[in-house]
Amino acid sequence: MANNPWDMELRQLTYLDAVIETGTFAAAAEREHVAQPALWSQVRALEREWNVPLFERAGRRVRPTAALLALRDEVRTVLADASRLRERVDATRSGRAGPVRIPSTTYPQVARLIAEAIAEYARRYPDAPLPTRVPLGTATVYEALARGDIDLTAGVPPLGAGFESAPLRDVEIVAVGPGIAAGTIEVRDLAERPLAALTSDYQSRRALDAAFRSERLTPRIVYEDAHPEALVVLARRDVAVAVLVSDALPDGFDLPVAAIRHRGRGLGGRLELLWRDERTLSTSARRFRDVLLAREQRFSAPAARPRARAASRGRRRPAGRAR
């Protein structure tokens, strides 16, 4: 709208400030690398829009009016803010600003993978801020991803989640502890045993509860915790059977591990790295995603994981979709 006093451009304010600094339209035009008539036209247009006299003649020079002097600090504040915004946009576009937001995790294997990826990311992009951890349970992480509260997450997504993803590894919901032999165990065979389980904030716990409900069974949950290492301690002390996701087991875990099955099918699935969509992924998030995927490929190579290969011998690939 031509007569709106706020219908102005940063270019006009830049020219205005240049005239104040240099004292002439010619010098201002030279400093801003623009033709003098064009600069003069923009300043005059701003004067008409504001309906405020901006300059008065002083010989061959011009000087700001009292009205412009009263506005000068605000004009320079707007220009400084715009300059900072441009710098921030450039830094975000180049990956030098805007930390990657990822959910915190209590799973030791995933935590180690992410920490190693962060170290590699810091080496490759020393000017970029390190990723920021957001505390979330695995059951709510997909809601946070859909809202844009986080950029990336690792998980076994629910069917129809609609996220873009790349595969990481297969995971299982497993049982360890007193009376558990290596191999597999059916959900119904756990019904009478004392169980130590993750809280309902975790997808794997919800999947376990759903399997018990479908069998019309009530599990004996004697202890709940959000930290899998606490469950492992109780399993080692023969207090309860710990039920948790396979990647929540510490590296080099030495107790027998049984994959939990429900009606012949494994409770678990393919662990994937997820993001909302490529279009909204920032430069820094895209770079960290690529570093993390490359790190996982090296970590998952058979030569690099002899313990994992031996531990999974004889197990079938899980068919479930819970974490």
291: closest CA among 110, 97, 102, 116? Answer: 116
pLDDT tens by residue, the chain, 323 residues:
344 545 568 899 999 999 999 999 999 999 999 999 999 999 999 999 999 999 999 888 999 999 999 999 999 999 999 988 888 887 777 777 778 999 988 788 888 889 999 999 999 999 899 999 888 766 688 889 988 899 999 888 777 778 999 998 889 999 999 999 999 999 999 999 999 999 988 888 989 999 999 999 999 999 999 899 999 999 999 999 999 999 889 888 899 999 999 998 998 888 889 999 888 888 999 999 999 999 888 755 443 332 332 333 333 333 333 34
HSE-CB at 172 with a 13 A cutoff on CA atoms is 22
Task: Using the CB atoms, write b or e for 14-53: b if 16+ within 10 Å.
Answer: bbbbbbbebbebeebbeebebeeeebbebbebbbebeeee
User: CB burial class (10 A; 0-12, 13-18, 19+) of residue 303?
Assistant: exposed
Domains of the chain with CATH codes: 10-92 (1.10.10.10), 101-311 (3.40.190.290)
User: What is residue 253's DSSP assignment?
Assistant: -
The residue length of the chain stands at 323
Three-state SS for 88? helix
Cβ–Cβ contacts within 10 Å for residue 285, how many? 22
User: CB burial class (10 A; 0-12, 13-18, 19+) of residue 60?
Assistant: exposed
Distance spanning both ends of the chain, measured CA to CA: 56
Instruction: Tell me the C-alpha distance between 159 and 148, whole Å.
Output: 19
Three-state SS for 273? strand
Q: Let me know: does 285 contact 152? Beta carbons within 8 Å.
A: yes
Q: Let me know: does 267 contact 186? Beta carbons within 8 Å.
A: no
Q: Let me know: does 97 contact 91? Beta carbons within 8 Å.
A: yes
Place of tokens 């920490």: 115
Place of tokens 């003649």: 57
pTM of the model: 0.65
